[in-house]
Structures are given as structure tokens and as C-alpha cells.
Amino acid sequence: MAGVREIKGRIKSVRNIQQITKAMKMVAAARIKKVETRMKAARPFAYKMQEVVGELTSQLEGALDPLMEARPVKRVAVLVVSADKGLCGSYNNNVVKAAMQALKGHVEAGREVVVIPVGSKGYRFFLRRPYPIENVMTGWNPDFDTARALADTLTEMFTSGKVDEVHVVYTRVISALTQEAKTDRLLPLASEKTPEHVLPYMFEPDPNAALSAILPQYLRTIFYQILLEARTSELSARLRAMTNATDNADKFVGTLTLDFFRARQSAITNEILEVASGAEALKK
């Protein structure tokens, strides 16, 4: 059994770590409220944009827009949205695992792939993998400027013919306690089918011009929603991980405290036995 002084030092170390995990838990809890509110507020706008695009595409025939051009797939860009920091449970591991599965599927289909990492964790992971990396983005924030930059970069790659498809791997919020690593195709944009309206939409000057103006904004809205979903999932995973770490620290301190009392009792017993044995020896 460890000595009294050693156990006391371990208790102090665990208490110090617990203070850190508790502080990180409180920070995650404060941040997640703001991001979650923005995510929920952005969803109706994204759904309405999807509805408008669906109404536009239903009024047009043939090739609609360069962003909707489907062509033989030879090269694929995979956008991987991960965190810049750790201490969030299996969040980053789930993202890179889903990304590796997607990349493996493209490679087995005979396609070239390029990885576009968003977040330091994903970037460091793919640095040690045999996949080309382009347009690294670290230290990102879930704001519309970041979404615009990503959308413009990937739009240029797609319309210039550098890639034939764009896929994204990110974590989607299912509930407060559940997140899911998901893979979606972003480009080319698919023609959305929406139910018929009692009063159909009317577009000025014409649906073709409206579609060309709306699609870039629609793509930026998709990226904005993805970033908000990913950051909310990250903070939720960190909040849960830090809560578990704080609770486990309490349990561990309780176990160490019992060991401390046992060790101290054993030391006191040994000292009493030594005193008694010395006194007996002096009598003899």
C-alpha cells in the first residue's frame, strides 16, 4: 500500500484536475447555449431557402445552373469538419472515422480524392495519411464569413472542373445527448422536389435569373448550418465529457481518501507496536 504522504499528494493532484474539468464544463455550458440558439434560429431560413430552390427547379427544364451540373466523377473533394481542441470525448474520432470510410469508398471506386480539413484535429490526423490536403482552415468560428469563404472556395473548385463532386463529413445534432457523424454530398446541388403550393411562386425577372442569384446564397446557407451543427455537437460532447470527468474525480478522491485512512491507521498501529516492543525489551 502507498504511503500516507504519497496518497495525500495524489488526492491533491486529482482535486487540481477536477477544478480544471469543472471550469471547462462551465465554459462549454455557457457557449453551447449561444451556438445552439443560433443553430435553431438558422434552421427555418435554411428550410425556406430549400423550398424556394425546389420551386425554382420545378419550373425549369434541362441544365439549370453550373452548380447543378452532374458529370462523370473522376475527382472528389471531401470536406472534413472537426474541432480545433480535444477533451470532447469521441467527437473527433467519430468524424475522422466517418471521413476515412468515405475516402475508402471513393478510392475503391477508382476516384481521386482530396481532403479539405476544417479544424486542427482533422488536419493533424490527415497529415499522417496518404491523401492530398488542400485549403486547410484551422481556428474556425461558426459564422457566416467562414461559411462564405468555404462556399466560394469549393464553388470555384467545382465550376473550374478541378473536382467533380464535393462531399462533407460533419457531426449533426440529433438531441442534446446524441450527435451523429454524417456524410453528405454538397455539389453538384440536387434538384429539390417540394409539394405544390396553392399559390405558386412567381419570380422576376425570370426563374433562370432568380436561380443564378439564389444558388450561391443557398450554398453558403448550407455551409453555415453545417458549421453551427458541428460546433454545437463539439460543445455538447465536451460538456458531457467534462461532466463525466468531474464526477469520476469525486469517486476517485473518495477511494483515495479511504486508502489514506487505512494507510494512516496502519502507520499508527505499527508505531504503537514498536513502542510496546521497545518498552517490553527495556523491562527484560
156 and 267 both lie in a single domain: no
CATH label of the domain that carries residue 94: 3.40.1380.10
Interhelix angle 91-108/207-283, nearest 10 degrees:
130
Classify residue 202: in a domain, yes or no. Answer: yes
pLDDT of residue 62: 56
Catalytic status, residue 88: yes
CA distances from 183 to 52, 62, 199, 216 (A): 24, 28, 35, 21
Exposed / middle / buried, residue 280 (Cβ in 10 Å: 0-12, 13-18, 19+) = exposed
Classify residue 117: in a domain, yes or no. Answer: yes
Query: For residue 66, what is the DSSP state?
Result: G
113 and 225 both lie in a single domain: yes
Classify residue 227: in a domain, yes or no. Answer: yes
15 and 46 both lie in a single domain: no
10 and 67 both lie in a single domain: no
pLDDT of residue 230: 93
Q: Up-side HSE of residue 191: CA atoms within 13 Å toward CB?
A: 14
153 and 219 both lie in a single domain: yes
Q: Report pLDDT digits (tens) over 49-84.
A: 777 777 777 666 655 678 888 888 999 999 999 999
Q: Is the pLDDT of residue 10 over 90?
A: no
Classify residue 284: in a domain, yes or no. Answer: no
Question: How confident is the model over 236-257, as a mean pLDDT?
Answer: 88
129 and 225 both lie in a single domain: yes
196 and 220 both lie in a single domain: yes
Classify residue 145: in a domain, yes or no. Answer: yes
Domain limits at 261?
4-20+244-278
- Give the pTM: 0.83
153 and 268 both lie in a single domain: no
pLDDT of residue 51: 78
Among the listed residues 88, 99, 228, 237, the single catalytic one is 88
Predicted confidence band of residue 218 (pLDDT cuts 50, 70, 90) = confident
Q: What total of structural domains would you count in the chain?
A: 2
164 and 254 both lie in a single domain: no
Q: Is the pLDDT of residue 37 over 70?
A: yes
Q: Is the pLDDT of residue 198 over 60?
A: no
162 and 40 both lie in a single domain: yes
Classify residue 283: in a domain, yes or no. Answer: no
46 and 108 both lie in a single domain: yes
Classify residue 63: in a domain, yes or no. Answer: yes
Q: Report pLDDT digits (tens) over 136-169.
A: 999 999 998 999 999 999 999 998 889 999 999 9
Looking at the chain, the whole-number percentage of residues with pLDDT higher than 70 is 92
**Residue pair 265/9 in contact by the 8 Å Cβ criterion:** no
CATH label of the domain that carries residue 264: 1.10.287.80
Give the helix ranges, DSSP H, for the chain: 4-58, 91-108, 120-127, 144-159, 207-283
258 and 194 both lie in a single domain: no
pLDDT of residue 174: 84
